[in-house]
Structure formats: C-alpha cells, structure tokens
Amino acid sequence: MSLSTPRTAPGGRAAGGRTIDTADASRLTKLRRGRAGTALTDAAKAALRQYGVATAGHRRPPELIVVGAKRGGTTSLWKYLDSHPGVLPTFPRAEKIKGTYFFDEEWAQGERWYRSHFPTDHARAKAAERLGYDPIALEASPYYLFHPHAPARARQVAPDAVIVALLRDPVERAFSHYKERRNHTEPLSFAEALAAEEERTGGEEARMLADPSVVSPAHRHQTYLAQSRYAPMLQRWFAAFPRDQVLVTAAEDFYADPQKFCDQVTERVGLPHHDLGNPEPFNSEPSADMDPEVRAQLRAELDEDITAVEELLGRAMPWGG
C-alpha cells in the first residue's frame, strides 16, 4: 500500500519543530472561517461572557485605565504594560481584549458585564502567591478621553483606578485619525473632512449629554479637530478624579523613552520594575505628509487649546508654542 507524505510547513522536524499537515490545517482554517465555524466561535464567546457575568461578584474593576487619546499611542502603551507579569489578562485570555468601551458605548451592558472582563479574586490570589506581590488589571479604550460621560462613569464604577492619557501633537493626531477612517468609511479628503466637521457632528455632544443612552458614530469617528482639543477633555477627567490619580504625558515623550513612562505608571499602581527590552511601536499609520496649507490652518485652529493644555498641566509640551 502506498501512503502519501503529508505536506510540511517550513520549520518542521528537520528544523527542530513539529511536522504539520498543512492540508488538514487548511481544512480546519476553512471550517473555522466558514459560517458554521463562525457560529460556533460566537456561541463559545457568548458562553464565556455569560460565565464572566455570572461570576462578576468575584471580579473587581481594573486598577489601571488608559483613556486615550485616539491615535495617540494607546495601543503601544497597552502592549508594553500588558507584557508586565503583574498585569493579569482580561477574560477570556484568548480574546486579548484591549478595551471594553464600557464607559462610552457599552454603558447599557451594566456593571456586571464590565467586571466580567477582569480576573477573579481567586485568579488574583493565585497570581499574588506566584509573583510575591499583588497583580493588577488593565484596560485601554481610547474613546474614553473624549466621551462626555466617560469620566463620571469611570469614577462611579472604578473610583480608585489610576487614569492614564497620552497626548500626541494635536495636528498629527487629527491627520492620523483621518487616515485611519479613510481606510474604513471616510470618503472625503482631509481638508474636506475638516471643513465638514461642524455640519457632520455639530450638536452631537449636546444630544449625548441630554440623553446618556445615545451612541453617536459621528461623534466618535468624524471629530478629527474636536478630538485634538485636549483641554476640555482633561478638565472633565480632572473634575471626576483626584489630580494625583490622573497621569498625563505627551505621546512624543512616551515614545522617546517608553521604559521611563511605563516605570512611572507601574510604580504608581504598586508593581515592580519590568524591563521592556527594545519595544517597537504598535498600530502606527505611516503615510504621506499632509498638505502644508492644511497643516498651518489646523495649527492656527489649535493654538489656543495647546496653550490651555500647557497651563492645565503646568508644563511645556513638545508640540507647544
């Protein structure tokens, strides 16, 4: 009898790895990605979330919340902090959930749903025994900084959390935000989108304040200029939390020395030093530079807010005047 030899992927036994039947692997991948596989995956996720909600009484809110800014380095900061052995994974671990969006768009899910994403007291105790110090939980949702209800909601549910915000050069942030949306649903040029912003989003925040159940895609996705006006956002967070619970730095300073800022954050939440090695930025959006005239107009629009931010923080920002 003749037996066919399984096709092996590079790095098989000869390379010290294991032999992989890529034909079977391909069939499994197709099954997972097919309608039946997707349904099974969704059902499994739903069951795990139900379990998390059922055990929410044994889960506490996170000690650390990264709130933004959008396109300001939150993914990189989350990745670096998440690499610390004292930062426990969200639940379920396999989903690698960065942020829950609870304090902005998922508030209606309720506090038990929020807590369902974080480790149980038993998991914390086991980790503390292994580590020799108390671990923490973390989430990073970049829309929190801008959302009008997020600070008060976070204070209500996680009053002892340390809040972290990275503020990128607001001109560069606005353009990076636009580039991200251009890859999805934005049909306009950057200049056109800035010109249309008031018409597209005017009144959305007032509508959200009047009705806390409102979820506004325009407010989240089309506010390229508004989400670069950091002063009003910082004022809301400073009003909701004690000033010493809110850590704010420039994204440019963070990227210049990620280890230094991560050490500041982990020290603030009681974790020991953790060497990041040579960290690389995540979720960057390289592209051609913006039109110089648009840049100049945007800078002029934001100058007053930049001054207000520097006054609020009591420091000069690298992109300040």
How sure is the predictor about 23, in pLDDT bands with cuts at 50, 70 and 90?
Answer: low
Question: How do residues 169-194 score in pLDDT, each as one tens digit?
Answer: 999 999 999 999 998 899 999 999 99
Question: How do residues 267-317 score in pLDDT, each as one tens digit?
Answer: 999 999 999 998 887 766 555 688 999 999 999 999 999 999 999 999 999
pLDDT of residue 3: 37
Q: In 82-115, which positions are buried (b, 16+ CB within 10 angstroms) versus exposed (e)?
A: eebebbbbbbbeeeebbbbbbbbbebeeeeebbb
pLDDT of residue 27: 57
Is the domain spanning 49-313 CATH 3.40.50.300? The answer is yes
Question: How do residues 25-59 score in pLDDT, each as one tens digit?
Answer: 565 565 556 776 677 878 888 999 999 999 999 99
Q: What is the mean pLDDT of residues 2-26?
A: 41
pLDDT of residue 219: 98
Q: How far apart (Å, rounded) are the C-alpha atoms in residues 63 and 261?
A: 17
pLDDT of residue 320: 81
Location of structure tokens 């800035």: 194
Q: In 259-275, which positions are buried (b, 16+ CB within 10 angstroms) versus exposed (e)?
A: eebbbebbeebebeebe
Q: What is the mean pLDDT of residues 204-224?
A: 97
Query: Is residue 9 pLDDT above 80, yes or no?
Result: no
Q: What is the mean pLDDT of residues 251-269?
A: 97
pLDDT of residue 39: 79
E strand or H helix at 179: helix 170-182
Q: Is the pTM of this model over 0.85?
A: yes
**Alpha carbon of residue 91 to chain centroid:** 16
Q: How far apart (Å, rounded) are the C-alpha atoms in residues 213 and 207?
A: 10
Question: How do residues 121-154 score in pLDDT, each as one tens digit?
Answer: 999 999 999 999 999 999 999 999 999 999 999 9
Q: What is the mean pLDDT of residues 92-121?
A: 96
pLDDT of residue 46: 92
Query: Is residue 66 pLDDT above 90, yes or no?
Result: yes
Q: What is the mean pLDDT of residues 261-271?
A: 98
Burial class (CB in 10 A: 0-12, 13-18, 19+), 299: middle
**Domain layout of the chain by residue ranges:** 49-313
Q: How far apart (Å, rounded) are the C-alpha atoms in residues 144 and 100?
A: 10
Residue 144, number of CB atoms within 10 A of its CB:
30
